[in-house]
Amino acid sequence: MDGFIEWLEQVNEKDSRVRAVLRQSLSFEPGGYIPAICYVEPFLKGEEKYWQRRILYLVAGLWAMHWRQDRSGIPISIGKACAMHQKDTKSSSTENRFIALLDSDNDQLPHRLRQMISLLKKQHIDFKSLLKGLLRWQDERKRVQQAWARDYYQNL
């Protein structure tokens, strides 16, 4: 799914309404908000993989929710962003939320990820990396979750 975030940025340059529609789509099951279809499906080009489609809609909504005009700085991984948030806020709940996110099943993931991204407003999140990880979320060995956890604890 290389190029998806760039695709969203291009669509956003032409029509800034895209962010409002994709943010609104987070209130529905991924792919369940009809107005968002025109912004995601052209990138999919007929792919019929359920998990891939679901994740693209989710990431599109999260990207729109987190988007800001000033995107200076180097994008960072979700694990590092959570560690930085915990350091900045001294909040003990960040770690608990992060662990709950890592332990999310397919149904819990959209809700918990949306909550986490909301907390990380000040962090410049690497949505390309987030998308790649989420596409491999269902790996039985939980390699993505382990990598995120290592990234989190190494950056505390």
Which fold would CATH assign to domain 71-156? Peroxidase; domain 1 (1.10.520)
1-67: which CATH architecture? Orthogonal Bundle (1.10)
Percent of the chain with pLDDT over 70: 97
| Nearest residue to 74 via CA among 11, 129, 113 | 129
pLDDT at 41 over 70: yes
Q: 119 is written with which tokens?
A: 């907390």
* Average of per-residue pLDDT across 9-25: 94
| Radius of gyration (C-alpha) of the chain in whole angstroms | 15
Looking at residue 140, its pLDDT comes to 95
Residue whose entry in the numeric block shows the structure tokens 């950056």:
155
Per 3-state DSSP, the chain is made up of helix, strand and coil in percentages (nearest 5) of 65, 0, 35
pLDDT at 1 over 70: no
Per-residue model confidence as pLDDT tens digits over 138-153: 999 999 999 999 999 9
pLDDT at 71 over 80: no
Helix axes 50-66, 37-44, angle to 10 degrees: 130
User: Cα(46)–Cα(6) distance, rounded to whole angstroms?
Assistant: 19
Within the chain, all domains assigned CATH 1.10.520.40 are found at: 1-67, 71-156
User: Cα(4)–Cα(23) distance, rounded to whole angstroms?
Assistant: 16
Looking at residue 94, its pLDDT comes to 95
pTM of the model: 0.94
User: Cα(8)–Cα(130) distance, rounded to whole angstroms?
Assistant: 15
pLDDT at 66 over 90: yes
pLDDT at 129 over 70: yes
- Other Cβ atoms less than 10 A from the Cβ of 64: the count is 21
